Amino acid sequence: MDLTWGAIGKVMAAGLATYFLLPGILILRDLILWKLVGAFILNEDLRRKLKRYVQIAYEWNSKYAVQSKAQTVGDRTTYTIDGTEVSSEEWFRHFSDSNQIGQELRELKFEIDRKARFLSWLLKHYQQDNSDPINDWKRKEFERLNAKNGAEKS
């Protein structure tokens, strides 16, 4: 067997590249990835949209997700919201506000879910898929709002 200094050098260079250089490059890649994610996906605009989404969802569930109906008996129309009879103006305002809130809720959900899907794909592609920052933010914001509103009701 012919053992030369060149062969020993190649084995040492391969070992250094495998155990030191490659992990360093992967760490640098992950650092750049998270900087870009922080700048373009997990930015202040998304946080603002998440807060608005949670506030609107809470308002929707507490105020607008009630049964409202208009019922005509003979020549008289009665308007009810959550079993309470209201005027026609109040019913139409509730209906209009409900439509506007629902539309904004759908638009925000679409925007947030689009970013969440892209981030999920990106993190899975770069083997970073053990975190879900967008849904974590959403869950924390729901908890904060529920705690805040629970304290106000007490």
- For 71-113, the pLDDT digits (tens) are 888 888 888 888 888 888 998 898 899 899 999 999 999 999 9
**Rounded distance, CA 59 to CA 3, Å?**
77
Q: What is the pLDDT of residue 38?
A: 93
**Rounded distance, CA 91 to CA 79, Å?**
6
pLDDT tens string 5-33:
999 999 999 999 899 999 999 999 999 99
Given a cut of 60, whether residue 2 has pLDDT beyond it is yes
Q: Are 130 and 111 within one domain?
A: yes
Q: How many domains does the chain have?
A: 2
Q: Are 95 and 22 within one domain?
A: no
Q: Are 13 and 75 within one domain?
A: no
Q: What is the pLDDT of residue 153?
A: 64
Q: Are 60 and 30 within one domain?
A: no
pTM: 0.77
Q: Are 55 and 128 within one domain?
A: yes
Q: Are 36 and 102 within one domain?
A: no
Residue 49 contacts residue 58 (beta carbons within 8 Å): no
What domain range is 23 assigned to? 1-40
Q: Are 144 and 111 within one domain?
A: yes
Q: Are 80 and 11 within one domain?
A: no
Q: Which two tokens stand for residue 120?
A: 């999920």
